[in-house]
Copies of this chain bind each other. A is one copy, B any other.
Amino acid sequence: MAYLFVGEGREYLLEPGETLESDLGILEVPEGVAAGETVETHLGTEFVARELRGPDLFHHFERTGAPMMPRDIGLVMGHTGVKQGDHVLDAGTGTGVLAASLGRAGAEVLSYEQDPEFAEVARENMELGSVADAVEVRAGDVTEEIDELTGSAFDLVTLDTADAPTVVARAPELLAPGGFLAVYSPFVEATSEVVETAREAGLEEVESLETIQREMDVGDRGTRPSTAGVGHTGYLTFARNPV
């Protein structure tokens, strides 16, 4: 299990037994290292071993595309109330930060990624995120396997794919009673299509949310929202299986 080694304002992701050489000296990570322990380089610089936490995954996962932002992952979790033991169907995996985050909250996740190489990277990311047991990354197209998945009574179906509407149309067959659908789509037109498809499929509590998040600057002259601005990520559409 890899740890973050943090010291002198730097942060390195290292496995037990690994050796890192830098201008701060040679850092040999002991085999039995544990979170919270301090390791010194041969020049005496101290690094503290830290477990990777959720937002660290966002920074240290190998990326195969733009990963979903922590805020959007959180909104999916908050609006659907995902919990330990939930069964989740996820497509497409991408970098895998959403799947990993759901797995870390105790869900069992089946995640589809069309690109086999991306799927392989995502699997390695699940190892790094300590959720290889909780998250199965399947290389393939979820729309082609829906017939086998119906009746699985998923508690949550999360979609971040161009052909989300195809899956949304089948959501009532995929979801448990009261189960949630969550679809991420960057564009308005795709969002509208998801909403209309969800309504036609008989899903309830269909709502599409836009979230604008800004940092507040607290300084000597006073407090104000950041002048830097924070841009759009995507719309999140939620819906629920009535029965």
A81→B56 contact, CB < 8 A: yes
B223→A210 contact, CB < 8 A: no
- A27-52, CB < 8 A from B: 35-36, 48-51
B230→A216 contact, CB < 8 A: no
B74→A77 contact, CB < 8 A: yes
Asked whether any CB of chain B lies closer than 8 Å to the CB of A148, the reply is no
B78→A101 contact, CB < 8 A: yes
Within the complex, which residue of B56, B83, B216 is in contact with A54, where a contact is CB–CB below 8 Å?
B83
A189's nearest neighbour on chain B, judged by CB, is: B222
A222→B105 contact, CB < 8 A: no
Interface residues on A, range: 35 or more
Contact string, A3-35, partner B, CB cutoff 8 A, digits 1/0? Answer: 010100000000000000000000000000001
B229→A229 contact, CB < 8 A: yes
Q: How far is the CA of A79 from the CA of B192 in the complex (A)?
A: 28
Asked whether any CB of chain B lies closer than 8 Å to the CB of A120, the reply is no
Across-interface contacts of A212 in B (CB, < 8 A):
211-214
Asked whether any CB of chain B lies closer than 8 Å to the CB of A242, the reply is yes
Query: Which of the segments A87-95, A110-118, A138-146, A172-180 contacts the partner chain?
Result: A172-180
Contact string, A103-135, partner B, CB cutoff 8 A, digits 1/0? Answer: 011100000000000000000000000000000
Across-interface contacts of A101 in B (CB, < 8 A):
78, 81
